[in-house]
Structure 1
Amino acid sequence: MSFFSDLFGRRRESSASSVARPEFLPYIEAPQGERAIELQRVEIRARVTGVHAETSQTLHFHNPNRRALEGELVFPLPDGAVVTGYALDVDGRLVDGVVVPRREARRILEAEARKGVDPGLVEQVQGNIYRTRVYPIPARGGRTVRVTYVSELNVQGDDAGYHLPLADANAAAPIELRVEVVQAPVEPVLSEGLGNLALTRFEERWVAEATLPRGLAGDDLQIRLPRLPPRFTAVERRAGDGAFFCVSARMHDEPGERAAFSPRRVAIAWDASGSRADTRKELELLRELLRRWRALTIDLVVARDACAPAERFVVKDGRCDALLERLAGASPDGGTDLEALDLGRAPHPDVEAWLLFTDGLGTVRRGAPALGRARVFCINSQAASHGGLLEHVARANGGGHLIDAPHT
């Protein structure tokens, strides 16, 4: 990640599997006043080909209420992931959806809704958050939904890694898990802590299957492809469908070390809106930055639907307890208006860079903050986020985008 290269003056030499992601699962929002829709079972199929992965999640929901409900399925995806399939159960079997133009989709939605039929329309809300209406969910009955998406593996140096958050997932429901790594040029390495899940070689693929009971203490699913060659190819042949191939070529980073970034003064823009309830990882990262930078001045701007006046903090000997206490005590509340944040007007002329802690999701207005000459480093540890916006802001002036604050 260029973030660590720029901030600490060296390349981050960690394996692709070391990058932690927040835990999340799709969920159905039930109408207010009703008992929550229960997730009874999850089936996950992950298929890695080259440096891409196709993930399919089949979710079995149950309505414990005495009347049929309409629910809204909300599912955050990894940054950069693309939805490639959506299916909803009709008369006991899953029926795949098709892609139609927006105007036609709206017409179908209205026509089917008048008939009392759920047309199964998937909508990208903002950033990596998608949603779809599920109706009807029968009284004391269930519905099944399948979501399929394709994402790139996380590539760092010669390693590539696939990551699926599962550490807390089976606290909600039992999980049936199947993993395939197709025509890998190296032997894949599977993380431990997932019951009896183990990769076995079968013809041209590695396969692993396991059932994780509800409540089983486990870990995230991580697959690492270590020491990949610069270029490799995978070819598949399917009966009646012809042949498919994937060519993966790795671009080499620029050689050499970068000078360490040791600022004397930086500004922090801290998003304290209601969508950022858990910022422990970000505070941990900030604490590490203070230890490394040792002595500097920090101008803090707390942002929600409006920006609070700047506050000044002084870091001495790598510590600033007052700053960390201020941020930990900033209650997540209200909306987000990043357009109200002007990064082109620093609180002090000596500010060398901005550290922007936000998920990028605007609830008041959805635009980006105004930019100036100072570099902006975007930091986010939330599962639901607008990674594209954060990437744009970070790259505009040579900054960086850290999608997760890792354990230090």
Structure 2
Amino acid sequence: MKVSSILLLATALLTGPAVLAQQPAISEPLAPPPRPLVLRVPEAAQPVRLTRVNVDVMVVGRLARTTVEMTFHNPNARLLEGELQFPLLDGQQVSGLALDFDGKWRPAVPVEKARGQEIFEEVTRARIDPALLEATQGNNYKLRVYPIPAHGERRVSLTISEHLREKRDGSALLRLPLAFSERLDVFDLRIQAPGLKAEAVKAVRGLGGARWENRAGGATLEMRRRDYRPEDRVEASFSAAGGPLVTVEEFDGKRYFYAELPAPRTLLAPRPSPRQLALVWDASGSGAKREHGREFALLDAYFRALGNTRVRLTLARDASEDSGTFVIKGGDWSSLRAVLEKVSYDGGTNMAAFRPHAAADAVLLFSDGLGNFAAPTMPDFAVPLFAVSAAAAADNDRLRQAAEKSGGAFVDLLASSPAEAVTALLKQGPRLTGLRSNGARDLVAAPADAESGRLAVAGILSEASAILDLEWRQPGGAVERQQLKVGSAGALSASFAAQAWANLQLRQLLPERSVNRAAIERLGRAFGLVTPGTSLIVLDRVEDYVRYEIVPPTELRVTSAPKRD
């Protein structure tokens, strides 16, 4: 008899008032249905229950690290193997796994993905305790655990890192994976926000009865419930810090820093109106799953704002198809819309086909970014690319990177409000064009948040402290320079910096994972991250790590060191 315990993960919704004089005919994005976390125990005669959950969250600026400790109870009279399948939201990533051994947590270590699968199968046949966590498709994960003892319990700890989504008011939105389908015997939650006052934090939903308190170091919320089922959507918002924040961490003999600072504040400037616009429409088989109503509504608002332009249409499948030129007058694009409404969606997605057939002032691409044919990477665009996603299953990181690299913008119609969607196509702000330091190396930055204007930067300190030199180019071409001092003095107390640096590096590499496979695997192995090429594994005995040539966790390294004569 197959038995599954199903848990639901919450998703977030960003909405806000319109900022345009004329509201486009696009409804606010609806929250997608909860995505389930599923425990599969095929050989269980009685359901294996999740009985206790302990959640500990640390929020620093736009970063959050959430540790979820779960206790599973097996009422059956035999040992069982379980497989925990769970999705994460956009911006979330598994950054840690631990398994309970006799009351002590043993952290997982990284292993090459295929090798991890082989080892798990071998040690399971030998009836030795292993756990293996690996990425599947998209932002989905699978955790295999053996054994879940007969009439006993097994505890598993997952750590999730997240770059918090921004709300329209510039605050950061924390989304917690706390929505479960069954009542828990015990539920504990703690959220800490170093450097923030309790007044700067509020519960958006799902934390009724819990109160924020000012404690040493920052705002804290704690709650404990028994015989309790958390609400389906649990969210909290954190006001943006006024000035810069810095955290520093020593990791593997290096000192990493992570910093956030406000970008130069300027009003958004109008983008030049394209006289010739290249419209690339992904007509592959997966294109049928996009929400075309939202796409048409965006085009209607965009062309109404432009007034007059010429559009060269390209249909992209396994090859590109030149589908003609359309003249837009007074915002009337009815002839172009009639062609798009009759598109047949079939074939594979060759991203080389995204290249327009003729020169243009800008490129407007509608696609899910999922390539499965020929060219493994997005083409380079010599003019601004505006990439629009309207599919639940999409490679938004790939689309976002290509758009930002070209000086354009990325729009997610399933997450953006109507005003945000159109504004991204019509307006532009300052761009970071230079990042240097004489006291730090391997610098990496994430794009500044659209509303708060805050920029995330990370790197490795080669001196006790360093001055970062940032160069910004304003929409009109003017250059503005900015400096930030980073170091341990005044830094917040949080062990975030090393993995934050690694995650920012991964953010740049993952969109073209087939090209960057080796670099992605190196980062995963060095920082204990689950990537398309690396998994996390926990083994029972020191000799198992030695046998499979896996570097054991720190607690076992002294035991596993060779003896001297």
Question: Which of 221, 229, 238 does residue 208 from structure 1 map onto?
Answer: 221
Given that 1:285 and 1:405 are in contact with CA atoms closer than 8 Å, whether structure 2 keeps it comes out as no
Q: Distance in 2 between matches of 1:42 and 1:343?
A: 46
Moved more, 145-154 or 381-390: 381-390
Structure 1 counterpart SS, 2:404: helix
Tell me how far apart the structure 2 counterparts of residues 37 and 345 of structure 1 sit (CA, whole Å): 54
Question: What is aligned with 1:392?
Answer: 401
2:223 matched to 1:221?
no
State the match for 2:87 in structure 1: 75
User: Are 1:179 and 2:188 matched, yes or no?
Assistant: no
Contact 2:65 2:162 in 1 (8 A): yes
**Deviation (angstroms), 1:160:** 4.7
For residues 253-268 of structure 1, the aligned pairs below 5 Å read 253=264, 255-260=266-271, 262-263=273-274, 265-268=277-280
Matched, 1:57 2:71: no
Deviation by residue 1:160-193 (Cα, 9 ceiling, x = unmatched): 5132166x93457667543211222784231433
Which ranges in structure 2 are unaligned for 5 or more consecutive residues?
1-17, 21-27, 250-254, 419-565
CA separation of 1:330/1:19 partners in 2, compared to 1, >3 Å: closer, same or farther?
same
Task: Assess if the C-alpha contact under 8 Å between 1:164 and 1:222 holds in 2.
Answer: yes
Number of residue equivalences = 374
Matched with 1:239 is none
Q: Secondary structure at 1:184's aligned position in 2? A: coil
Q: Is the CA contact 2:120–2:132 (under 8 Å) kept in the aligned structure 1? A: yes
Normalized per residue, which structure has more helix? 2
Which of these two proteins has the greater Rg computed from alpha carbons? 2
Cα separation, 1, equivalents of 2:155 and 2:360: 56
Contact residue 291 and residue 318 of structure 1 kept, 8 A: no
2-side partners of 1:382 and 1:42: how far apart? 33
Q: Partner amino acid for 1:206?
A: A
Alpha-carbon distance in structure 1 between the residues aligned to 2:260 and 2:334 = 45
Percent identity reads 21
Contact 1:230 1:250 in 2 (8 A): yes
**Residue 98 of structure 1, CA deviation:** 2.8
Match for 1:98: what amino acid? V
Query: Cα 1:186–1:394, aligned 2, differ >3 Å: closer, same or farther?
Result: farther
Q: What SS class does the counterpart of residue 44 from structure 1 fall into?
A: strand
CA deviations on 1:187-229 (whole Å, 9 max, x unpaired) are: 423143322233122233212234685484x644132223x22
Distance in 1, Cα, partners of 2:332 & 2:151: 57
1:375 is aligned to 384
Q: How does 1:4-403 map to 2 (within 5 A)?
A: 27-28=37-38, 30=40, 42-59=53-70, 68=80, 70-71=82-83, 73-76=85-88, 78-79=90-91, 81=92, 83-89=94-100, 95-99=106-110, 105=116, 108-109=119-120, 111-117=122-128, 119-125=130-136, 128-136=139-147, 144-154=155-165, 159-164=170-175, 169-170=179-180, 176-184=188-196, 187-194=199-206, 195-210=208-223, 213-214=228-229, 216=231, 219-226=233-240, 228-232=241-245, 248-253=259-264, 255-260=266-271, 262-263=273-274, 265-270=277-282, 279=290, 283-284=293-294, 287-294=297-304, 297=311, 299=313, 301=315, 306=318, 338-346=349-357, 352-358=362-368, 360-362=369-371, 367-380=376-389, 386-402=395-411
Counterpart-to-counterpart distance in 2, 1:266 and 1:9: 27
Q: Aligned in 2, Cα 1:391/1:322: closer, same or farther, shift over 3 Å? A: closer
3-state DSSP of counterpart to 2:269: coil
Q: Could you tell me whether the CA contact under 8 Å between 1:41 and 1:60 is conserved in 2?
A: yes
Q: Deviations over 1:36-56 (max 9, x none)?
A: 987666543221124422112
Per-residue CA distance 1:322-367 (angstroms, 9 max, x = gap): 9599779989xx9x95445522234x65583132331x45566793
CA distance in structure 2 between the aligned counterparts of 1:340 and 1:246, rounded to whole angstroms? 36
Residue equivalent to 1:240: none
The verdict on how the C-alpha distance between 1:63 and 1:222 changes in structure 2, with shifts beyond 3 A counting, is: same
> Are the aligned partners of 1:118 and 1:133 in contact in 2 as well (CA < 8 Å)?
no
Q: Is the 8 A contact 2:179 2:233 kept in 1?
A: no
Is residue 342–residue 371 contact of structure 1 (8 Å, CA) maintained in 2? no
Structure 1 unaligned blocks of 5 or more: 1-7, 11-17, 237-243
What is the alpha-carbon distance in structure 2 between the residues aligned to residue 63 and residue 391 of structure 1? 44
Q: Please tell me whether the aligned partners of residues 85 and 140 of structure 2 are also in contact (alpha carbons under 8 angstroms).
A: no
Q: Is the 8 A contact 1:42 1:173 kept in 2?
A: no
Distance 1:179 1:119, change over 3 A: same
Q: Deviations over 1:115-156 (max 9, x none)?
A: 144532333446644433334567998754321133334468
What letter corresponds to residue 387 of structure 2 in structure 1? C
Checking the alignment, whether the CA contact within 8 Å between 2:55 and 2:190 is kept in structure 1 is: yes
Instruction: Indicate how the Cα distance of structure 1 residues 223 and 255 shifts in structure 2: closer, same or farther if over 3 A, else same.
Output: same
Please give the TM-score of this superposition, normalised by the length of structure 2.
0.50
Cα distance in 2, alignment partners of residues 142 and 101 from structure 1: 29
- Answer yes or no: is the 8 Å Cα contact 1:45–1:177 preserved in 2: yes
Residues 178, 38 of structure 1: alpha-carbon distance in 2 compared, 3 angstrom cutoff? same
* DSSP 3-state at the match of 2:209: coil
Assess if the C-alpha contact under 8 Å between 2:93 and 2:162 holds in 1: yes
Q: 1:234 to 1:352 in 2, by over 3 A?
A: closer
Question: Are the aligned partners of 1:178 and 1:210 in contact in 2 as well (CA < 8 Å)?
Answer: yes
Distance in 1 of aligned mates of 2:342 and 2:234: 27
